[in-house]
Chains A and B, each alone.
Chain A
């Protein structure tokens, strides 16, 4: 294998070294144009190929980002008007399937209406332990949420958006997460994500990344905002739709 004389560098070795040197040089040159502001704090998101083509503004254009994000994720969210202990509030529900909405509601809540959908309330499932309710709605495949499994637990400083319910529909609010950490929880196999520490997102709100991928459903856990990841919600939905045989 190879033609390696005892003395000197073989032709193969020379060529391999040339390839490595040239390739590294090319990458260095290209990176200067590709990542012009190559500071230590620049957050990057690992996502689909060519997603960097999507317009990305800097820190100062966060409002524009949030507005555009709202246009993207808005169709994926339906707001519910609910009542609990005599008080009404608005809760966002995420379209997990073409015909299924998922929301975080305590068991003693009552759903009064779907704010932007004129359909009867059809509860397809309820998980009392996890306080998740599943609603059946007319199917619309184009509105199903995109759940990016790869970006969820990276513990790095970043901006995300919290989607909350209002009488007019879903409203987005930027959040800064210093870090996300996993904690164990008996209700979920992979535990919960602690979102940055103290309560920054209201329970039931939906956390999206700035690339439009759904990250987590905010639940309260001992005074901290904790998130249930998309993977766990998918599993929960499967369980609610197909309950375990007795």
Chain B
């Protein structure tokens, strides 16, 4: 009741302000208002959905979608763009938290099994998706009359992008639900390893498409490019993490401020240097946790407690950025691809769990952690679309629609899996019983 009244008050204020005077000029002036309303209203929407036995994350996403540019347009397109810019900082913070979660000593005994698991999952998805795409290519709206060699190359590229997961969303859901345990650890490890594979496979796929299309070849080697993106990102993040650890030990003042600065550095500098911000932030958190463990643990708990606003904004921005018009254009095809992808994730996860000797809940729930797709996949899609303008736009439309579906369903599925695994709230001592 109180929350409802507060929500009404907040919305009434926002409506009054918006109608009192139209904003002039810079979109950043409207962002603050959107931020304030989104934080309170989206969170209350999440709480409301929690009462309906749905994850809070769903509430944040739906709030963003409903209030976004395509529906109510309360979060207008400029606001959505401004919120996306905060995403850079949010992604870095979220990945840093994930790095703080990874204890190498605890994970080392399971590393071989996790690698085997990931390889089987990805292998299953790659092979099956490639075959299906090759067979149904004439019915896909991406250059249906492509010659056989180009068709194979495009099917490979599409496979690489479709068989990708979202470490950011996974980490965000884990952090938001304060989950911890074997299943959480496994899911995180699999999606992060898959992210590394994605970068490599996309690089290879793009080169193959270029070769078949007769485009100019790279001046920079494939291996050099991928190595810089993967290994370089980890090295850069490790340097930042080590320097941060030194700061904590020797100076240790204004840690909040410095932490924000570190996340900004990881986000902005990483992009400028062509690193992958998620990997860099992950490596930074890893170094802090594994080399300065006492500080890492305390920092982790403090940051996780304070990360909720960042997570809410992340999901609201994700919801607001969903391109509903793409769904309207190519929704059925995207839905079919999403269902196929989900089925293959389920099959691959079961097979992989069996081959890696994983027990329930990993064996029967892991596939639910492999549904989400988000930023990195979208970024790669844009790269491909811009380089190949003949078939790029329909490719982009299909992928945007697919990502939209998976972005809505994925966090919900993961949250349900975490709940069924009994790992929700296990990050805290004396946590409430899992949802």
Contact = CB atoms under 8 A, between A and B. Distances in A.
B287 A146 contact: no
A27 B231 CA distance: 8
Interface in B292-350: 292, 294-295, 323, 325-326, 329
Nearest to A57: B216
Could you say which of A12, A44, A74 has the most chain B C-beta atoms within 10 Å of its C-beta?
A12
A63 interface: no
A16 B77 contact: no
B24 A189 contact: yes
A99 to B, nearest CB: 10
Given A16-B291, A23-B236, A141-B326, A33 B227 contact: yes
Interface in B197-247: 199, 202-203, 206-207, 210, 215-221, 223-225, 227-229, 231-232, 235-236, 238-239, 241-243, 245-246
B219 A49 contact: no
Nearest to A140: B393
Nearest to A17: B242
B77 A52 contact: no
A74 B52 CA distance: 49
B272 interface: yes
A52 B225 contact: yes
A1 B248 CA distance: 9
Contacts of B180: none
B145 interface: no
Which of under 10, 10 to 19, 20 to 34, or 35 or more describes the interface residues of B?
A: 35 or more
B220 A24 contact: no
A33 B383 contact: no
A231 B27 CA distance: 8
A11 to B, nearest CB: 9
Interface string B354-396: 0000000000000000000000100110110011011001101
Main secondary structure on B side of the interface with A: helix
B216 A64 contact: yes
Interface in B167-219: 199, 202-203, 206-207, 210, 215-219
**Residue of B227, B235, B325 with highest tally of chain A CB at under 10 A:** B235
Interface of A: 1-2, 4, 12-13, 15-17, 19-20, 22-24, 26-27, 30-31, 33-34, 36, 44, 46-58, 61, 64, 71-72, 74-75, 98, 139, 141-143, 146, 149, 188-190, 211-212, 231-232, 234-235, 238, 242, 244-245
Please list the 5 inter-chain residue pairs (A to B) with the smallest Cβ-Cβ separation, ordered nearest first: A142-B393, A189-B25, A244-B22, A33-B224, A23-B235
17 contacts: A4-B249, A12-B249, A12-B291, A23-B238, A24-B235, A26-B231, A34-B220, A47-B271, A49-B275, A50-B229, A50-B379, A56-B219, A56-B220, A141-B325, A238-B76, A242-B22, A244-B22
Interface of B: 19, 22, 24-27, 76-78, 81, 85, 199, 202-203, 206-207, 210, 215-221, 223-225, 227-229, 231-232, 235-236, 238-239, 241-243, 245-246, 248-249, 271-272, 274-277, 287, 291-292, 294-295, 323, 325-326, 329, 376, 379-380, 382-383, 386-387, 389-390, 393-394, 396-397
